[in-house]
Chain A
Amino acid sequence: MNDVYLREVYAQCMLWVMSVPLTLLGLLEREPSHGYDLKRDYDAYFGRGKPLPFGQVYATLGRLARDGKVMAGEAEPGAGPDRKRYIITDAGVTEFETWLAEPVEAEPHLQTVLFAKVVLALMLNRPAEGYLDTQRAAHLRRMRELTELKRTGGLVDGLLADHGLFHLEADLRWMDMTAARLGALAEVVRS
């Protein structure tokens, strides 16, 4: 049950930074593929418990074809709604390569909620260290779950778990630094 939960949580994180159209372009650069194959590979590598709906696959492919990033081959005989094989175009390759080369924005996710809690707690003379400890406990609990996922899951699960573990560890370091400076921070926010 934890695995499902974790995969959904991390799928959301991954999808947040990963564009579905660009991911499909990447899969198409590997080899021309049917929509079904793309969905299967997307779900296997990036879905993590949250499969990509067929409708979204074909709608995305349709937009990519309209924008000249992919070409649809002739319809092939067979069951199912769409038996076209999609091929990436030069424009599609360029867009994918550009995206791949760009760093993902280094967004300080944590500041939004926990930062606000710490500042408000200090302003209001409430136990900021207690809030940080509660968050620490939650982070460590999640890290334990991810460590277990690494132990019991495959290599791809482990890679995904590592992504989460390193981010959670970075958050914890921020909490440690913040906890060590609570006195000084309190003076600043109360002044």
Chain B
Amino acid sequence: MNPSAIERVVPEIGVPAGIAPEIVENVYLPKAVVLDRVVTEIHEVKTFYWHFEDWAEQRAFKRFRPGQFAQVSLFGVGEFPTSLPPSPTEDDTFFTVRQVGSCTSALHQLKAGDKFAVRGPYGNGFPMEEYRGKNLVFVAGGIGLIPLRSAIVYALANRKDYERIQIFHGAKTPSELMYVPKLHEWERTPGVECHLTVDRPNDDRSNNDRAADRWKGNVGVVGSLFKKPEVKVPVENTVAFVCGPPIMFRFVIQDLLGMGFKERDIVSTLERYMKCGVGKCGHCCIGVAYVCVDGPVFTYEQIKQLGEDI
């Protein structure tokens, strides 16, 4: 990694003078939130709508940017970082979480009215202001749509700031497509090109052949959508947002680079084991970046320099 490359990964090198003055804020202190309702998205993935007990906290929190994340506390189990799928332009605050470890399992046990705790928002987020006047291409594989949902809703709420908006979403099966009502809404929204695909039209879990019969859309990986005759992906003046499982990420990156995308015009969000979210605990530090404060949004050019698996 040459020094100039390092500076590009994290352009702002903080040079604070002396020890910080008296601190009043405790960055590790989460605030109590109330769970309003739970919506099952797909198998083992649920959306949790919540609000802070203290409305001043709620207002402060709502200043988050698309692409940022929050730390969720389930006391007695632990704390985990999770993307913020809502856009700040929406009223609701919610998380969409897959049940994968002890904390997320504890969250999945909660019912409306239960309390847990949240702190944040953290991270850099997508530079949506910088992208004004550009085409936006969103490519999401499976639950990779969770972090991109925020940017998509934000872009649509500020529609005139952006040129063409394309959404590509792929899932293993039709029953694993994320945010289905929202997808239908986007499909109907004028000025948005929303393309869906599934790896297999039949559903392994329910072995439901009728679902396969009902699926009239594309069958194939996300990248197969780019090759369809009716799809014209703009390359010039375009930012591509890519989120999804590692294998999908690698192939989509190859497709985009093949189409002529520059590495710095492809952005993604990284996930890492995190304990603090504020650049202290050291777990998410890769290369020269702390994913929690320098990320989680990085361009593909930066991700390559960080030199670790996605």
A and B pair up: no
* Chain B residues in the interface with A (C-beta under 8 A): none
